[in-house]
Amino acid sequence: MVFIETENKLKNMANIHVKKSLEKLMAEADDGDKGLKRTLGAGNLVALGVGAIIGAGLFVRTAAAAANNAGPSVTLGFIVAAIGCAFAGLCYAEFASMIPIAGSAYTYSYATMGELVAWIIGWDLVLEYALGAATVGIAWSEYLNKLLENFGMHIPYEWCHSPFEKLTDAAGVVTAHGMMNVPALFIIFLLSLLLIRGTKESAMVNGIIVITKVAIVVLFICFGWSYMNPVNHTPYIPAATVYADSQGITHNYGGIMGILGAAGVVFFAFIGFDAVSTAAQEAKNPRRDMPIGILGSLAVCTVLYILFAHVLTGVASVEDFRHSGREASVTYAISTYMSGYGWLAKLVTVAILAGFSSVILVMLMGQSRVFYSMSVDGLVPKMFSDLHPKHRTPYKSNLLFLVFVGLFAAFIPGDIVGDMTSIGTLFAFILVCAGVWIMRVKNPDAVRQFKTPLVPLVPILGIIVCGAMIFGLGWPNWVRLGIWMAIGLLIYFAYGVKHSKLNNPDKE
229-276 pLDDT per residue, tens: 999 999 999 999 988 876 677 888 999 999 999 998 888 767 766 667
pLDDT at res. 280: 63
- Mean pLDDT of the 307-334 span: 90
- DSSP annotation of 137 reads H
d(CA 116, CA 118): 5
Q: What are the pLDDT digits (tens) for 31-82?
A: 544 555 667 777 787 877 777 677 666 787 899 899 999 999 999 998 899 8
pLDDT at 10: 39
Concatenating the DSSP letter of every residue in 37-89 gives: ---B-HHHHHHHHHHHHSSHHHHTHHHHHIIIIIGGGHHHHHHHHHHHHHHHH
pLDDT reported for residue 507? 57
Task: Of 203-217, 301-315, 347-361, 394-408, give the lowest mean pLDDT range.
Answer: 203-217
Residue 402, Cβ density class (10 Å: 0-12 exposed, 13-18 middle, ≥19 buried) = buried
Which CATH superfamily includes the segment(s) 45-507?
Amino acid/polyamine transporter I (1.20.1740.10)
Segment 312-320 shows an average pLDDT of 94
Residues 454-504 pLDDT 10s: 899 999 999 999 999 999 888 888 898 899 999 999 999 999 888 888 877
Residue 1: pLDDT above 50? no
What integer pLDDT is reported at residue 185 of this predicted model?
A: 93
Q: What is the Cα–Cα distance from 298 to 83, expressed in whole angstroms?
A: 11
Distance (Å, rounded) from C-alpha 386 to C-alpha 337? 52
- Omega before residue 456 within 30° of 0, cis: yes
- In this prediction, residue 92 carries a pLDDT of 80
Amino acid at 429: F
Q: Cβ(409)–Cβ(138) under 8 Å?
A: yes
For residue 358, pLDDT over 80 is answered with no
Please list the residues that pair with 283 across neighbouring strands.
Answer: 40
Of the candidates 251, 321, 277, the one whose C-alpha atom is nearest the C-alpha of residue 93 is: 277
Q: Is the whole model's pTM more than 0.85, yes or no?
A: no
Quote the longest CA-to-CA distance of the chain: 83
* DSSP state for residue 181 in the 8-state scheme: B
Choice among 123-137, 192-206, 258-272 with the minimum mean pLDDT: 192-206
Q: Quick one: pLDDT at residue 136?
A: 86
What pLDDT score does 9 carry? Answer: 45
pLDDT of residue 275: 63
- Between the alpha carbon of residue 152 and those of residues 2, 145, 307, 452, 495, the distances in Å are 74, 10, 33, 54, 53
Q: How many CB atoms lie within 10 A of CB 22?
A: 16
How confident is the model at residue 391, as a pLDDT? 73
Contact in structure between 17 and 503 (CB atoms under 8 Å): no
d(CA 462, CA 453): 12
Distance CA 347, CA 344 (A): 5
Residue of 337, 325, 54 whose CA lies nearest to 223: 337
